[in-house]
Amino acid sequence: MINLTLSEAIFLYLGAFIVFFLFIWAIYENRIENKKSIEDKEYIWYCNICGFTYIDTLNVSVSKCPRCHSYIERKEKDKLK
């Protein structure tokens, strides 16, 4: 039989409780991040002039690069990615 004091039992119980909730939280956050990355692909722009990748959340067909200020037109094949 395992002999535990009351403080050791409380420590083990709370430790297991915290580990369980950290595990659930990590799974939940991972699911949210995967969902965001799939949804945000239409907002990711790549500048062919300076090579800068940025996010523009406006639903437009032409975007302005924040680094070199050149205008970039979204092609139909880019929308399907």
Q: Which pLDDT value is given to residue 37?
A: 58
Q: Which pLDDT value is given to residue 30?
A: 80
pLDDT digits (tens, 9 = 90+) for 13-55: 999 999 999 999 988 888 766 665 555 567 788 898 999 988 8
Bridge partners of residue 45, in order along the sequence: 54
pLDDT digits (tens, 9 = 90+) for 44-67: 888 989 999 888 878 788 999 999
* Percentage helix, strand, coil for the chain under 3-state DSSP, each rounded to 5: 50, 15, 35
Q: What is the Cα gyration radius of the chain?
A: 24
pTM: 0.43
Q: How many domains does one find in the chain?
A: 1
Is 1 inside any structural domain?
Answer: no
Domain residues for the domain of 45 are: 6-79
Is 26 inside any structural domain?
Answer: yes
Is 61 inside any structural domain?
Answer: yes
Q: CB-based burial of residue 52 (10 Å sphere; 0-12 exposed, 13-18 middle, 19+ buried)? A: middle
